[in-house]
Amino acid sequence: MGKPTGFLEYQRQGNPSQGPRERIQHFDEFHPRLGREERRRQGARCMECGVPFCQSGAVLNGMVSGCPLHNLIPEWNDLIYTGSFAQALQRLLKTNSFPEFTGRVCPALCEAACTCGLHGDPVTIKENELGIIEDAWEKGLLQPHPPEVRTGKRVAVVGSGPSGLACAAQLNSRGHSVTVFERADRPGGLLMYGIPNMKLEKSIVQRRTELMAAEGVAFRLGVDVGRDLSAKELLEGYDAVVLCCGAAQPRDLSVPGRDGKDIYFAVDFLRATTKSLLDSGLKDGQYVSAKGKHVVIVGGGDTGNDCVGTAIRHGCKSVVQLEMMPKAPDGRGENNPWPEWPRVCKTDYGQEEAIAVFGQDPRLYQTTVTEVLRNEAGDLTGVKTVKLDVNLKPVEGTEEVLPCELLLIAAGFLGPQEYVPAAFGVERTPRTCVQTQPGWYASSVPKVFTAGDMHRGQSLVVWAIQEGRAAAREVDEFLMGYTNLE
C-alpha cells in the first residue's frame, strides 16, 4: 500500500466539467482530465482493502456490486500513486479490453462498492482507469502487436459492438483469423451510433478499431448478416461464428395515435444525429431535428437522458422526460446498505442541462402517455398523460395534456432483432435472447456462439466486454481443445 493515510489526507477530486450552458453549444466531450500529479493523489486514496469489494462483481440483493471484469483496481491505483503508469496499464489491460470505453460510459459499479464510500467519498476509480489508458495512448504505448503465429482457424464475429470487439480482439490475440461483420458503415455498433458523441467521441472508437485492424482483425462493413450474407455461407466458410448483434429491438408505445409521423425510437433519433455529425457536422440535414420543437421523451433511463441532451443541443423549445416509476430516494435507504448498488436518484448530464436551460428538472415521475394528439393535417401536437400509483395503475383525475411536436420512445429493448437468430436457427429464451446453457456461450446450433446483449439482454458496456472475453475463451477451447485466454 503506497500511501496508508492517503484516504485521510486527500479529498475526492473528479475530472472537471464544462458548465451546462457552455457544453450544449457543441457535441464534444466536456470532461477534461486531471493532471498527472492530481491523478496520483487520487490513486493514493485507495485503501487497498484486504477484501476489495470494488473488483468483486458479486450479486447482492439481486444487483451486481463491484466490477464484472474483476479489474485489479487496488493494484493499479497503487501504481498510479507511485507514478508507474506503464505498469498500471499492463495490469489494467489484463482484465479490460477497452478501458477508454468503460472509463467514459460505465456507471462505475466499482465505485459504488468502494470501502472509502462507506463513510465518505469513494475513490475516483473510473477516472483513474481513464487516466491510465489515455496516458498510454498519448505516450504511444499502445502499438499494434499482431500474433506471431496463426492457428489456421477462421472465426466470424457478427456485430462490432463492445462484446463483438472484445471477442474479436481476444481471439485474434490467440492467433485465430477473425473477421467482424458490421451492417453499419462504421465499426463500433452501440459505441459508434448508440452513445452520443458528447459521452464518447467517435474518434476514440475509431482509434481502437484501427489498432485492432493493424493487429490483423478484418472488418467487413455494410454487410447485414442474415440478409446480405446468409448463415449458410458463414457456417461453411468459418470454423466458428459468434453472434454479438445486441438487443436492438426497441420496446414500443401502444396508444391511440401512435401510428403517424414525428414519433421515433430513441435509438433511431440518436443514430441519425451521430451519423450526420460524423458525415457533415450536421450540415446535411439527414437527421431528426428537435430544433424549435416541444419534445417529450418516454423513458427515464440513460437513453432517455441522452435524448434530453441531444434535443437541447438541437435547440428544442422544451423537453419533458416521462418516467413510470416513482422517484428514487436521494440517499441510501436502510434496506439498501453498502456495498449494494445504491438505488438513489441520479441527475445526469442531460437533466443538468435541462435545468440550466429551462429552469426545471425535465423528469415527470409516475407518469405515462395514454394518447397521442394530432391536428387535421396529421401533425403531432401533444400527448395525453396520466399519473400512476405505486402499482403502476392509472390514477383517476390526473390526466394532463403536454405540448409535443416530437415524441421519442426510450422505453428500453425487448431483445435482438428477429432475423439474425432466425437465419441461424438458434433456440431462444422467453426474452427472445439466444439460448445457451447457464454460464456458457455455445448456442443450440453447432459452432455458433453468442455474447453480449444478444445473450443476456439489454445491459451495460462493461458486461458486454465481459461476455465477449468469456465467449472468446469458450470458442478458443472449442477450436483448439484448450485455452490460455484470460
Looking at domain 252-411, does it have CATH number 3.50.50.60?
yes
Which tens digits make up the pLDDT trace of 228-244? 999 999 999 999 999 99
- % of the chain residues with pLDDT over 70: 100
User: Quick check: helix, strand or coil at residue 250?
Assistant: strand
Whole-Å CA distances, 463 to 107, 116, 333, 457: 11, 24, 26, 10
Model confidence band, residue 1 (pLDDT cutoffs 50, 70, 90): low
Average pLDDT over residues 278-302: 97
CB 253 within 8 A of CB 408: no
Average pLDDT over residues 165-187: 98
Instruction: Quote the CA–CA distance of 230 and 46 in Å, as a whole number.
Output: 51
Quote the pLDDT of residue 107. Answer: 96
What cell numbers appear for 96 in the block? 479490460
Looking at domain 154-248+414-480, does it have CATH number 3.40.50.300?
no
Model confidence band, residue 142 (pLDDT cutoffs 50, 70, 90): very high
Average pLDDT over residues 149-160: 98
Domains of the chain, by residue range, sit at: 6-138, 154-248+414-480, 252-411
Give the CB-side neighbour count of residue 77, counting CA atoms within 13 A.
Answer: 30
Which tens digits make up the pLDDT trace of 37-48? 999 999 999 999
380 φ, ψ (degrees, to nearest 5): -70, 130
Whole-Å CA distances, 292 to 311, 369, 408: 10, 22, 15
Q: The CATH number of 6-138 is which of 2.40.50.140, 1.10.1060.10, 1.10.443.10, 3.40.50.1220? A: 1.10.1060.10
First to last CA, the chain: 26
Model confidence band, residue 397 (pLDDT cutoffs 50, 70, 90): very high
Average pLDDT over residues 184-210: 98
Instruction: Quote the CA–CA distance of 109 and 81 in Å, as a whole number.
Output: 22
Matching residue, cell 441519425 = 272
Please choose, from the candidates 37, 144, 135, 147, the residue with its C-alpha nearest in 3D space to the C-alpha of residue 87.
Answer: 135
Average pLDDT over residues 379-399: 97
Quick check: 301 pLDDT over 70? yes
Average pLDDT over residues 109-117: 96
Amino acid symbol at 65: S
Model confidence band, residue 101 (pLDDT cutoffs 50, 70, 90): very high
The domains spanning 154-248+414-480 and 252-411 adopt the same CATH topology: yes
Which tens digits make up the pLDDT trace of 55-95? 999 999 988 999 999 999 999 999 999 999 999 999 999 99
Quick check: 188 pLDDT over 80? yes
Matching residue, cell 457536422 = 281
Q: What is the CA radius of gyration of the chain?
A: 23
339 φ, ψ (degrees, to nearest 5): -100, 30
What cell numbers appear for 166 in the block? 472484445
Average pLDDT over residues 150-175: 98
Instruction: Quote the CA–CA distance of 473 and 50 in Å, as a whole number.
Output: 29
Instruction: Quote the CA–CA distance of 448 and 20 in Å, as a whole number.
Output: 46
User: Quick check: helix, strand or coil at residue 295?
Assistant: strand
What cell numbers appear for 71 in the block? 479489474
DSSP strand E in 348-466: where? 363-365, 367-374, 380-387, 400-403, 406-409, 413-415, 448-450
> Is the pTM here over 0.85, yes or no?
yes
Matching residue, cell 440478409 = 227
Model confidence band, residue 3 (pLDDT cutoffs 50, 70, 90): confident
